[in-house]
Amino acid sequence: MIRPALPPFACLLCLAPFLLCYRDFTRLWFFGDDWVQLSEMDRVGFFPWLLRPFAENLVPLFKVIWAGAIHVFDGSYFALIALLWTVHLVKLLLFAKVLTRLQFPSLAVVCAVLSAGLPWTNIESLA
């Protein structure tokens, strides 16, 4: 039996590290990769930059979101980190929805979401 409230709750639970480390995230101000990305975007132009892979970032959609956020949030690192965690939550919710639609048991969906969503599986990209 699928319990519909469990997978979304597991997705929200994956935001716990962001909430617990909120104060530290407000003081964080530098990711080395971001300077490289900004420099390259400026050097080659937006559209050529958009199609260039960078490390694990092969999806132009995420680069569009990131580049837009730089302008919308006036370069605020905390805003970028919050956006990163928000996108992470949306991906987890979509993942849970797909697994639920495929009629996996709730416990299996929760385990999959927690495995994919908690920072021990992706600490570098979220922290």
| Number of C-beta neighbours around residue 106 at 10 A | 18
More confident residue, 23 or 94: 94
Rounded distance between C-alpha atoms, residue 114 and residue 127, angstroms? 17
pLDDT class of 20 with cuts at 50, 70, 90: confident
Q: What's the pLDDT score for residue 18?
A: 86
Tell me the CA distances in angstroms from 111 to 6, 19, 50, 122, one per residue in order: 10, 21, 34, 16
Contact between 108 and 99 under an 8 Å Cβ cutoff? The reply is: yes
pLDDT digits (tens, 9 = 90+) for 89-127: 999 999 999 999 999 999 999 999 998 888 665 555 555
Q: What's the pLDDT score for residue 124?
A: 55
Contact between 54 and 37 under an 8 Å Cβ cutoff? The reply is: yes
Q: What's the pLDDT score for residue 78?
A: 87
Q: Tell me the backbone φ, ψ of residue 8, rounded to 5 degrees.
A: -60, -35
| Number of C-beta neighbours around residue 84 at 10 A | 19
Angle at 88 between CA 4 and CA 15, to 5 degrees: 70
**Mean of pLDDT values over 13-31:** 81
Long-range contacts of 65-74 (CB under 8 A, 24+ apart): 66/37, 67/41, 70/38
pLDDT digits (tens, 9 = 90+) for 25-35: 888 766 667 77
pLDDT digits (tens, 9 = 90+) for 49-76: 888 877 666 678 888 888 888 889 988 8
Q: Where are the domains of the chain?
A: 6-122
